[in-house]
Amino acid sequence: MSGRKRPPLRLLGLHGYGQNQRSFHERTGALRKALRGRAELVSVSAPHAVPGPEPEPGNAAGRGGNRLPGWGLLGPGGPGARCSLSPQDADPRCWWLPRPREETLGAREEAASCAGLEESLEAVAGAFAAHGPFDGLLGFSQGAALAALLCARKQRGDARFPFEFAIVVAGFESRAAPPSYCQEPIAVPTLHVLGEADRVIPPALSRELAAHFVDPAILTHPGGHFVPASAPQKRAYLEFLAKFLK
């Protein structure tokens, strides 16, 4: 009936390296408020604990802290691109791991350098089975790289991941699982969100990832390495999601 209220879309949230379900939920509070009534964000924790020393509380709440003491930058931004972990990041998790001797997990890591991806794919499949259905994915940083891998898996016919679209925030082309992407462009609809001041995942790397997709939507913002949710981004999210509201 025309007066019947449409149910909101359901998004599966995939956090960044060194975060977890709780911290990602707290850091996306502004986004969840912006999407209220249109989309519900349900986050899950990655299955792998980040190795190394316990995180030291920092002052980067809401800005996607991606550093562990002694591990340096968890991204390709170079020595100056360091972030502190917030107190919410106790029990830091990740979707795959670098080799123990490596101090960084960069956007250019090779498959031989990483471990744990298959377990993470099983964990995401379990989230679909236990908490679904989900209409789309929303991934941030390493979680955005995973979301892109899931889009490729979906295109290849993997029935474990029944979703329609993905929002990819600060994504990069991971080589954690060769071949990580289909040889042909990926037809899953995507919105790629790039921070012009992102020193952890520079926007050029996010654009390289977007180039793997058919007609990707691109949203840029002036900030750094976090999930933006101010008025301009809110409009872009809602315009993208409107395509999938039934």
Which residues are annotated as catalytic?
141, 198, 225
DSSP state of 95: S
Instruction: Tell me the C-alpha distance between 95 and 108, whole Å.
Output: 15
| Residue (of 225, 237, 17) closest to 114 by Cα position | 17
Secondary element (H or E) of residue 139: strand 136-140
DSSP symbols for 158-193: -TT---SEEEEES-----SSSS-S-SSPB-S-EEEE
Residue with tokens 């989309």: 39
* Residues forming beta bridges with residue 213, ordered by sequence position: 186
Helix axes 203-210, 142-155, angle to 10 degrees: 10
Reduced to 3 states (helix: H, G, I; strand: E, B; else coil), residue 153 is helix
Contact call for residues 48 and 17 (beta carbons, < 8 A)? no
Q: Return the structure tokens found at 154.
A: 């979906």
Type of residue numbered 32:
R
User: Which residue stretches of 103-227 are H helix?
Assistant: 117-131, 142-155, 203-210
DSSP state of 18: T
